[in-house]
Structure 1
Amino acid sequence: MRRLFLLCSLALTLVYAKDSVEFKYAPKNLERTYPTAQNQILSYNNVLENVRTSIVNISIKKEVNSNQLGANPFFNDPFFKEFFKGYGDIPQDRIQQALGSGVVVSQDGYIVTNNHVVEGANKIIVNLAGDKKEYEAKLIGKDEKSDLAIIKIEAKNLNAVTFYDSDKVKVGDVVFALGNPFGVGETITQGIVSATGRSGVGIVEYEDFIQTDASINPGNSGGALINSAGHLIGINSAIISKSGGNVGIGFAIPSNMVTTVATSLIESGKYTRAYLGVNISDISDDMSKFYNDNYGALITSVEDNSPAAKAGLKRGDLIIEVNGKKIGSASELKNTIGSYAPSKTVTVKFLRDKKVDTKNVMLATLDNKTLNGELEYKGLKLTQINPTHKQQLNITINGVLVINVDEKSEAYSAGVRKNDIIIQVEDNEIATLDDFKRATGSKDKKRVFIYRKGYILAIVL
């Protein structure tokens, strides 16, 4: 072992003798500056004291069924309930409780939190800092694609948080994460911004996270990430961890995305994203040489009759800028377009044949548009049944699968639920998304036949 070490040392010596390297050194006369003296205490108390009352504790209650047999409609019949009484065959609903955090965004009671904090809640309870009263909150709207939700309590003169432009957040900025983890009360942790513009994490569909090493613990979800001036730069959303504990990799939804989504949720109860109509990808170093060493979002296909098609964009164009904002990747384009309202006209700068060109594009809505094999229709998100779905759901039928339902939509009120399979609309059997689009082309209400866990029901939609 010693011989090997000596040989390695010799080899290294020979290498350094051949390749001389000049190392860069810091000046020797650098002075060390101390932030405090012995008669001073460095503190952020004045900043935190003001903002901590903008943070609320959220507890939810929701009924969950402990047995899949509950899906059978016969178990909801009082006769059968009485018949099986005492045999344990009828699943009993139980109450599940969970804790999270929220941030007051208006003096009259609007609160922003994560969608996953309030999802499926039958009852939402809010506790304010320094107030022993419990407030029952109403769900105003939610956006699963960004993991944001707005709730409201009946209260006045609340301490609304002050927003900061998250585009101006820099790596190394001192930040604080505020929330109510584990139900122990208010907590504040300190750290720095580790990165901005984080995407591709796989948490939600639209990702543009601020990454921080400030501890974000269970129960901090929906809480505030603030800068050293006491301004909100993000809503705490998730952590990366193998054990569930904090390891210094936390993510917050940037404040600019929060204000855009929250404003729409408060005004209309939903957030509708703009639609460009292109499939896009990142480019490699080799590919960038074809575009004058630029990076951006490469158009790989353009949907027929889409805003992009009408504007003249085509496969092979590299989008590098939208409305003056530089685009460096496919995820940046997706987030940028998704931040605009439908019918907005944007200026798209792109490279084609190594020449820069611009087009004005009038964006459209994602509603009732097929995107990446999915269709949005009246609050439903649909996809075509594939072999994987059939195996997971243990079915053999064809149709379109409901993968999500907006709880404020007409479809939800009519009785459509997640994992329902639409098999027929009026007299038209449904096997594909195109079948569904043709069958629902007019605005008239129609009979829709749904397969749900072994039985078929009909609704009007």
Structure 2
Amino acid sequence: MKKLFFLSLITLTFVYAKSSVEFKYAPHNMEREYPTNQNRILSYNNILENVRTSIVNISIKKEISGTQLNANPFFNDPFFKEFFKGYGDIPQERIQQALGSGVIVSQDGYIITNNHVVDGANKIIVNLAGDKKEYEAKLIGKDEKSDLAIIKIEAKNLNAITFYDSDKVKVGDVVFALGNPFGIGETITHGIVSATGRSGVGIVEYEDFIQTDASINPGNSGGALINSAGHLIGINSAIISKSGGNVGIGFAIPSNMVTTVATSLIDNGKYTRAYLGVNISDISDDMSKFYNGNYGALITSVEDNSPAAKAELKRGDLIIEVNGKKIGSASELKNSIGSYAPAKTVTIKFLRDKKVNTKSVTLSILDSKTVNGELEYKGLKLTQINSTHKQQLNITINGVLVINVDEKSEAYSAGIRKNDIIIQVEESEIATLDDFKKATGSKEKKRVFIYRKGYILAIVL
């Protein structure tokens, strides 16, 4: 017997309560526009074919020397130390190789890349697109604080890239990343601008990155980020990744910063930043209410005899503009001032007591400056010894502690090393950073007395 199933029709009535929110809808009659059809191929080949010859592959060789006793953990064993006693340390030399990218910026061979690509290199080799010849490059100059460097090869009639004003880059712009990822050779990836003005990432001291989701991988460093017109908007520098591969968060140094630093490196071999002489911070929403709802860089202290002090800026002033460019954060002020050369006079607009004030400030540079309790001087980074330092180093003396030394600096060449303690300069005993600044005020070389592991040494710096 067949079983019959009856489907009854039930009419339901839905009653919608009137919402207090009116939702915004797109027009129902919107039409789609198709960028191409079966008879046409959408392509950027005409743009990329020209730009690709402006990108170079860079390989470096770096000689690293040390001792096997230090490098090999077996030689730290007392038995092995005793076995090799009298023979001295066994020398160890090895060649470290690394790969990166660069961008041609002049027809006669100037190339810009990242400082971390060429830092410490004994030999820099450049390969041009479509050219089997290898070119040995000379390091012209580098700037660690922006992670930029200039190298040069002996060549003519190269295809120099065209720069674009990075201040005009917009989120959503179509971009391409060109470089040499993983050393596989010339590669182009595609994406958009995800954000602009990224700072506080912690990669370098001066950060104003363009963020993109175009694939950037190891080896892309120093390569180009270009817009859909084929113009350079940034130099690819870093990625955020747990695995080391691309996850869609890449950072490029904006072209305006690149041209400023590169010009100085080519002309002078170094980049010297201007100095205002203030400590600054961002402000919260609550703090913003005290400044008519404005945001900017809040001055927390002003150094004596600095350009800021001479212009009568003071703690509590909120800087909101420099030379007509709006300042929305402490990092924006830092990048803005750092983009000017010393002796440049700039117009600073700031808020004080809810009133807008304007001052002309002539920037300068100091051989030494104190930031957050640390002093930079001729490649040294110094701090005042405190009780924690004394306990860690098992010392009782006063002085200023060397917490870092730039290996390319004059101080390193003179013999100063990390954890040295400067106790005297000429006839002046040193107990504080202020003591050191006063004693080293002139540009003349001086005798510097340092304490190192129970010994006192004298050097000329």
Bucket of the pairwise TM-score, normalised by the shorter protein: 0.7 to 0.9
Residue 22 (str. 1) matches residue 22 (str. 2): yes
Match of 1:399 in 2: 400
Aligned equivalents of 2:222 and 2:256: distance in 1? 15
Structure-2 change in CA distance of 1:123 and 1:215 (3 Å): same
Where 2:368 maps in the other structure, the secondary structure is coil
Aligned equivalents of 1:392 and 1:178: distance in 2? 48
Aligned equivalents of 1:135 and 1:358: distance in 2? 52
Match of 1:56 in 2: 56
Match of 1:3 in 2: none
Match of 2:378 in 1: 378
Residue 347 (str. 1) matches residue 351 (str. 2): no
Confirm or deny: 8 A CA contact 2:382 2:400 kept in the other structure: no
How many angstroms does 1:64 deviate by? Answer: 2.5
Aligned equivalents of 2:292 and 2:141: distance in 1? 44
How many angstroms does 1:67 deviate by? Answer: 5.2
For the aligned residues, what is the CA RMSD? 2.9
Confirm or deny: 8 A CA contact 2:208 2:253 kept in the other structure: yes
Where 1:364 maps in the other structure, the secondary structure is coil
Structure 1: give runs of 5+ residues left out of the alignment: 1-12, 72-82
Structure-2 change in CA distance of 1:188 and 1:404 (3 Å): farther
Structure-2 change in CA distance of 1:388 and 1:35 (3 Å): farther
TM-score (normalised: structure 2): 0.86
Which segment drifts farther, 446-455 or 150-159? Answer: 446-455
Structure 2: give runs of 5+ residues left out of the alignment: 1-13, 72-82
Q: What are the equivalent positions in structure 2 for 1:207-222 lying under 5 Å apart?
A: 207-222=207-222
Match of 1:6 in 2: none
How many angstroms does 1:455 deviate by? Answer: 7.0
Structure-2 change in CA distance of 1:214 and 1:404 (3 Å): farther
Aligned equivalents of 2:394 and 2:97: distance in 1? 31
Structure-2 change in CA distance of 1:186 and 1:386 (3 Å): farther
What is the aligned residue count? 437
Aligned equivalents of 1:445 and 1:275: distance in 2? 23
Structure-2 change in CA distance of 1:390 and 1:40 (3 Å): farther
Match of 2:363 in 1: 363
Aligned equivalents of 1:138 and 1:418: distance in 2? 30
How many angstroms does 1:194 deviate by? Answer: 0.3
Q: Deviations over 1:51-70 (max 9, x none)?
A: 11111111111123455966
Q: Deviations over 1:14-51 (max 9, x none)?
A: 9x958532211100111111111111111111111111
Structure-2 change in CA distance of 1:244 and 1:357 (3 Å): same
Q: What are the equivalent positions in structure 2 for 1:286-301 lying under 5 Å apart?
A: 286-301=286-301
Match of 1:119 in 2: 119
Code of the residue aligned with 2:39 in structure 1: it is N
Aligned equivalents of 2:103 and 2:388: distance in 1? 40
Structure-2 change in CA distance of 1:153 and 1:338 (3 Å): same
Match of 2:104 in 1: 104
Structure with the greater alpha carbon radius of gyration: 2
Match of 1:253 in 2: 253
How many angstroms does 1:280 deviate by? Answer: 1.2
How many angstroms does 1:283 deviate by? Answer: 1.2
How many angstroms does 1:389 deviate by? Answer: 6.4
Q: Deviations over 1:221-243 (max 9, x none)?
A: 11110001111000001111111
Q: What are the equivalent positions in structure 2 for 1:368-447 lying under 5 Å apart?
A: 368-385=368-385, 398-401=399-402, 403-405=404-406, 407=408, 409-416=409-416, 422-447=422-447
Structure-2 change in CA distance of 1:392 and 1:133 (3 Å): farther
Confirm or deny: 8 A CA contact 2:425 2:449 kept in the other structure: yes
Where 2:203 maps in the other structure, the secondary structure is coil
Q: Deviations over 1:330-362 (max 9, x none)?
A: 111111111111111111111111111111111
Where 1:205 maps in the other structure, the secondary structure is coil
Code of the residue aligned with 1:103 in structure 2: it is V
Match of 2:164 in 1: 164
Confirm or deny: 8 A CA contact 2:68 2:89 kept in the other structure: no
Aligned equivalents of 1:69 and 1:391: distance in 2? 29
Code of the residue aligned with 2:367 in structure 1: it is D
Structure-2 change in CA distance of 1:319 and 1:85 (3 Å): same
Code of the residue aligned with 2:311 in structure 1: it is A
Aligned equivalents of 2:60 and 2:144: distance in 1? 18
Which segment drifts farther, 295-304 or 226-235? Answer: 295-304
Where 1:274 maps in the other structure, the secondary structure is coil
Q: Deviations over 1:149-194 (max 9, x none)?
A: 1111122211111110000000000000011011110011000000
Aligned equivalents of 2:69 and 2:313: distance in 1? 52
Q: Deviations over 1:207-253 (max 9, x none)?
A: 10000000110000111100011110000011111111111000000
Match of 2:150 in 1: 150
Match of 1:223 in 2: 223
TM-score (normalised: structure 1): 0.86
How many angstroms does 1:448 deviate by? Answer: 3.1
Confirm or deny: 8 A CA contact 1:164 1:232 kept in the other structure: yes
